């Protein structure tokens, strides 16, 4: 696994954030909460949501005072899907580092956010082929990208938010596509956060 890409991304993000902090209105924050995730694999039987969590840091960088800001965020997010095989619940667990870059529109205490995101798979999930009990090693692509959209309610320094992240890329590698089909990540999130 190439962790150097993650380290470089984290360093660049914090350099960007530290240079932004010199602006009086820029705020930093942390957020975390619950994930409900699924992957749209065409051939996976009886798919259902897998529940997990996300935890990250973000900045709120004003573009137009009291109306629009950019909110870059770096977070760790557990994703995947659940399914049934022979009436037994199984889960496919995938851990990602997400970089989100939504634009937020401020309507009083409500923020509406929309923008792109990119993800890097930091775990190495395998997939068991249940018909012949073989295991597919390194079955999924490392990179994903898509669109995030959400709402948050701000009260003082605290915030409560909901958002949906839809991946646009097929996460199946050739060796797993034969069994699973194509699949894209979909993640619903409920979070609590604080701005400093």
Q: What is the CATH number of the domain that holds 102?
A: 2.40.160.20
Q: What is the mean pLDDT of residues 31-41?
A: 97
Beta bridge partners of 158: 155, 194
Residue 20 has pLDDT above 50, yes or no: no
Task: Summarize pLDDT for 174-184 with one digit per residue, the tens.
Answer: 989 988 999 99
Task: Summarize pLDDT for 73-132 with one digit per residue, the tens.
Answer: 999 999 999 988 778 888 899 999 999 999 999 999 999 999 999 999 999 888 888 777
Beta bridge partners of 126: none
- Cα distances (Å, whole numbers) of residue 158 to 31, 64, 69, 84: 10, 22, 17, 39
Task: Summarize pLDDT for 129-174 with one digit per residue, the tens.
Answer: 877 778 888 899 999 999 999 999 999 899 999 999 999 999 999 9
Nearest to 50 by CA among 91, 98, 96, 86: 91
| pLDDT score recorded for residue 9 | 60
Q: What is this structure's pTM?
A: 0.84
Structural domain total, the chain: 1
Domain hosting 170: range is 3-195
């Amino acid at each position: 696994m190439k962790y150097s890409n993650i380290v470089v991304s984290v360093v660049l993000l914090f350099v960007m954030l530290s240079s932004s902090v010199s602006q009086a209105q820029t705020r930093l924050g942390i957020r975390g909460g619950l994930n409900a995730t699924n992957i749209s694999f065409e051939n996976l039987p009886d798919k259902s949501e897998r529940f997990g969590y996300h935890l990250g840091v973000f900045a709120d960088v004003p573009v137009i005072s009291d109306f629009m800001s950019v909110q870059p965020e770096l977070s760790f997010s557990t994703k995947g899907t659940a399914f049934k095989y022979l009436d037994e619940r199984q889960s496919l667990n995938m851990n990602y580092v997400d970089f989100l870059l939504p634009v937020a529109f401020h309507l009083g205490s409500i923020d509406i956010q929309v923008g792109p995101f990119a993800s890097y798979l930091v775990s190495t999930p395998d997939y068991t082929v249940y018909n012949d009990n073989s295991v597919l090693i390194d079955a999924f692509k490392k990179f994903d990208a898509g669109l995030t959209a959400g709402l948050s309610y701000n009260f003082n320094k605290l915030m409560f938010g909901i958002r949906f992240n839809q991946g646009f890329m097929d996460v199946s590698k050739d060796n797993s596509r034969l069994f699973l089909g194509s699949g894209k990540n979909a993640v619903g999130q409920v979070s609590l956060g604080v701005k400093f």
